[in-house]
Structure 1
Amino acid sequence: MISSREIKEKAREFGVPESTIERDYAQNWLLKYLSSLNMALKGGTGIKKLYISNYRFSDDLDFTLLEQMDENTLSALVKKAVTQAREESGINFRDEVESIKTESGFRNTVYFHLLQRAAGTPISIRVDFTSPDYEQILLKIEQRRIFHPYSDECNFLVKAYSLEEIMAEKIRSLFERTRPRDLYDVWFLDPKVKRSKVLVILPKKFEIRGVKFDLSSLEERKNDFANAWEKSLGHQIKDLPDFDRVYEVVVEQLKLLGQWFSQSHTPK
C-alpha cells in the first residue's frame, strides 16, 4: 500500500481532494480482482484507467456483463475480489458489501479506509453491473492494460469497451438523464474518437433503449446541467472548463449529428 505522503502529493499534483486519490487507488486494486470476471469495463472509469491517463477521475466502476449472472452469485464474486484486494494491497476494505437489484442489472457498494482512521466514515466505491439483456455491445471488446500512476506494483489487463462505444453511450446518456459528466465526456472525447465508428452504432444504441434523439429536451435542461456542473465534477478534475463553453460546443456537435441522425434511423 502506498504511503499517506504519496496520496497527499498526488492530490496536489492532480489538483483534487485526497479522497479522490484514495478512491482512484483503491479502485485499481479492486478492479484487478474483478477483471477476471466475464464483463467489460465502460464509462468514465474505463476512459481514465485504460485510454487517457490524464482524464477526469471517476467515482464508480461500470461494467456490462457478458453472460447472465444472478445477484447472489455476482455479490459473492465481488466479496471475493474485495478480500483478495485487501490481502494483496493492504487497503482496509470492509467485509460489508451492499448489493441491490437495479433497473439495468445490479449494484454493489464497497467501502474502505485508507488515510482515515478505521472509526471514521469509510469511502465508498459503487460498482454497477449492466445485464446483457439490457445492453448490447456492438463493437469489438478491447483488452487494455491498466494505468496505475502509483509507486506500488499493480499491473493487469482489463476487458473493456472501445472508446467509440463509450462515446456512443455517452451521447445517448445526454437524452436519458441529466448528469454533467456525460456532457463533459462528449465534449472531451469528440476529437479523440473515430466518428465513423460511432455513427455506425449510434442508431442501434438509441433503439436498444427506445431513446429519442431530441435536441430540444437537452436544451430544456441546460440550467439543470449548469447548476450541478461544479458540484458534480469539481472534485474529479483540476481545471474544470467553463460550463457555457462546453455546453455550446456539445450542442453544435449534436446539431450536426442530428442532421445525419434524421437521415438514418430514429427509434419510434
Structure 2
Amino acid sequence: MKELVDYLSGRLTIENKSMLEKDILLHRVLFKLMNESWFKEEFAFKGGTCIIKCYLGYYRFSEDLDFTYIQQEELANISQKEVRRILSKKINEVLTLLSSVTLELGLDFKKDKANDRYVEIGGSNKFVTFKLWYHSELLNVEQFIKIQINFFELITEIIIEKNALSLYSKIPEKEMKLLFPEYIDILSDVSLKCYSLKEILFEKIRAILTRRGLKSRDFIDVFLIMEKESVHLQKNKKKIIAKIQFMLRYDKYIQNISLFNSKKVMIGAEEKLMLLPLKKGFESFLDEFSMYLKELFDEIKISN
C-alpha cells in the first residue's frame, strides 16, 4: 500500500498521504458494497463522502461511508417487536457482506454484534455503526473506516441514481495494470443510489444542531452546497425542522441540541482534510448562517 500511496501522491500532487491511504480503502469498500445488487437497491449513499464523490468533487477528504435504508415503508404499521426482528435480520445481512468485503481487502472486522470494537447498535436496531480496522502503513498506527447506516430516516426529497467518482479515475489504466494490478478497482467510478444534494444540505444543517461535537467541515459543506445549489433556506425551513424533530425522538439527539448555544466554529481543526483553499465569502456566510441556525434552534425549543 505504501508504494501505491507514494505513487498516487506524486501523480496527484497531494501531500496528505495518510488521508490518501484511507480514501483508497474507502473507495474500494464502496466499490465492493455496490457490486452486491441487494445492497445497491436497498441503501442510499449520503453524507460528506457522497458530497465529494457525487456532487462537488474532491475539495476535501472524507473519512466515513454513510447510508440510509430506502425501503422504510415495509417498517410502517407493524409492531416495534416486528421492526426489531426485521432490522436484526438486515443487520445480519450487512454483517455477512462486510465480513466478505473486509476479508477480500485485508481489513480487520468481526461479524459480532456484541463486540463494540466492530459494531455499535442504537435506537432498537434503527442506527448501526460498523468499524473496519486497518494498520496504517503511513502512520504506523491502527485506524478504522466507519460505516453508518440509518434504518429510520425522514427523507424529504427523491432518491436519485448517480456515479460516485474516483479520485484516481485520470490515472492511466495501462500504468496501473503494470505497476499495481491488484488495485485496478480504484480507477472505477461506482454506480449507486444516493440522496439529492438538497437532502444532504438539510441533513448537514440537522447535524450541526444535533451533533455532540461541532465539526467545522459541516459549515464548509453547507457553504459550498449553497454556492452550487442556491437553496432558499427560509422556504425550506419546515422540511429542515421536520428532519430535526424526527431525530429528536431519540435521547442522544435531545441531549446534543441542548448544547448548541455553546458551540463555536474552529476551521483550523480540520484543515488537514482540505484539498482546495476555502473560497472567499465564507466568513460573511457564517455570520448569516449562524443567525438562521439560531432561528431554527429557537423554533424547535418552542415546539418541544
Normalised to the residue count of structure 1, the TM-score between the two structures is 0.76
Looking at structure 1, the residues matched to 283 and 259 of structure 2 have their Cα atoms a distance apart, in angstroms, of 14
1:194–1:262: structure 2 CA closer, same or farther, 3 Å change rule?
farther
User: Is the Cα–Cα contact under 8 Å of residues 164 and 194 in structure 1 kept in the other structure?
Assistant: no
User: Is the Cα–Cα contact under 8 Å of residues 107 and 126 in structure 1 kept in the other structure?
Assistant: yes
1:80 aligns with 2:81: no
1:241–1:259: structure 2 CA closer, same or farther, 3 Å change rule?
same
Looking at structure 1, the residues matched to 51 and 276 of structure 2 have their Cα atoms a distance apart, in angstroms, of 18
Cα distance, 1:116 vs structure 2: 5.5
1:93 aligns with 2:110: no
> What is the aligned residue count?
250
Cα distance, 1:191 vs structure 2: 1.3
Q: Which residue identity lines up with residue 30 of structure 1 in the other structure? A: V
Q: Which residue identity lines up with residue 263 of structure 2 in the other structure? A: R
SS at match of 1:148: coil
SS at match of 1:165: helix
Residue correspondence of structure 1 range 212-231 to structure 2 within 5 A: 220-222=262-264, 225-226=265-266, 229-231=267-269
Cα distance, 1:137 vs structure 2: 0.9
1:82–1:27: structure 2 CA closer, same or farther, 3 Å change rule?
farther
User: Is the Cα–Cα contact under 8 Å of residues 99 and 109 in structure 1 kept in the other structure?
Assistant: yes
1:204 aligns with 2:242: yes
1:160 aligned residue (171, 190, 194):
194
1:23 aligns with 2:22: yes
1:262–1:123: structure 2 CA closer, same or farther, 3 Å change rule?
closer
1:237 aligns with 2:236: no
Quote the residue 1:14 is aligned against. Answer: 14
Looking at structure 2, the residues matched to 217 and 61 of structure 1 have their Cα atoms a distance apart, in angstroms, of 26
The gaps in structure 1 that reach 5 residues or longer are none
User: Is the Cα–Cα contact under 8 Å of residues 162 and 194 in structure 2 kept in the other structure?
Assistant: yes
1:257–1:173: structure 2 CA closer, same or farther, 3 Å change rule?
closer
User: Is the Cα–Cα contact under 8 Å of residues 209 and 297 in structure 2 kept in the other structure?
Assistant: no
- Give CA-to-partner distance per residue, 1:203-251, whole Å, 9 cap, x none: 3223323489xxx9756422xx32xx333x2221135549x97454223
Looking at structure 2, the residues matched to 171 and 41 of structure 1 have their Cα atoms a distance apart, in angstroms, of 17
1:4–1:54: structure 2 CA closer, same or farther, 3 Å change rule?
closer
- Give CA-to-partner distance per residue, 1:48-76, whole Å, 9 cap, x none: 11112223111111111224653564255
The gaps in structure 2 that reach 5 residues or longer are 76-85, 112-117, 172-183
Looking at structure 2, the residues matched to 125 and 60 of structure 1 have their Cα atoms a distance apart, in angstroms, of 6
Q: Which residue identity lines up with residue 111 of structure 1 in the other structure? A: W
Quote the residue 1:3 is aligned against. Answer: 4
Q: Which residue identity lines up with residue 6 of structure 2 in the other structure? A: R
User: Is the Cα–Cα contact under 8 Å of residues 106 and 128 in structure 1 kept in the other structure?
Assistant: yes
SS at match of 2:97: helix
Alignment root-mean-square deviation, CA: 3.7
User: Is the Cα–Cα contact under 8 Å of residues 168 and 198 in structure 1 kept in the other structure?
Assistant: no
Quote the residue 2:180 is aligned against. Answer: none
Quote the residue 2:162 is aligned against. Answer: 144
User: Is the Cα–Cα contact under 8 Å of residues 61 and 275 in structure 2 kept in the other structure?
Assistant: no
1:111 aligns with 2:133: yes
Cα distance, 1:184 vs structure 2: 1.6
1:32–1:197: structure 2 CA closer, same or farther, 3 Å change rule?
farther
1:261–1:193: structure 2 CA closer, same or farther, 3 Å change rule?
farther
Cα distance, 1:122 vs structure 2: 3.6
Looking at structure 2, the residues matched to 78 and 55 of structure 1 have their Cα atoms a distance apart, in angstroms, of 32
1:186 aligns with 2:222: yes
Normalised to the residue count of structure 2, the TM-score between the two structures is 0.68
Looking at structure 1, the residues matched to 60 and 234 of structure 2 have their Cα atoms a distance apart, in angstroms, of 22
- Give CA-to-partner distance per residue, 1:146-205, whole Å, 9 cap, x none: 211224343331111100000011112222132222122112211112414894332322
User: Is the Cα–Cα contact under 8 Å of residues 59 and 125 in structure 1 kept in the other structure?
Assistant: yes
Looking at structure 1, the residues matched to 49 and 295 of structure 2 have their Cα atoms a distance apart, in angstroms, of 30
Cα distance, 1:26 vs structure 2: 1.0
1:256–1:180: structure 2 CA closer, same or farther, 3 Å change rule?
closer
SS at match of 2:58: coil
Quote the residue 1:66 is aligned against. Answer: 70
1:112–1:259: structure 2 CA closer, same or farther, 3 Å change rule?
closer
SS at match of 1:14: coil
Structure 1 or 2: more helix by fraction: 2
1:145–1:239: structure 2 CA closer, same or farther, 3 Å change rule?
closer
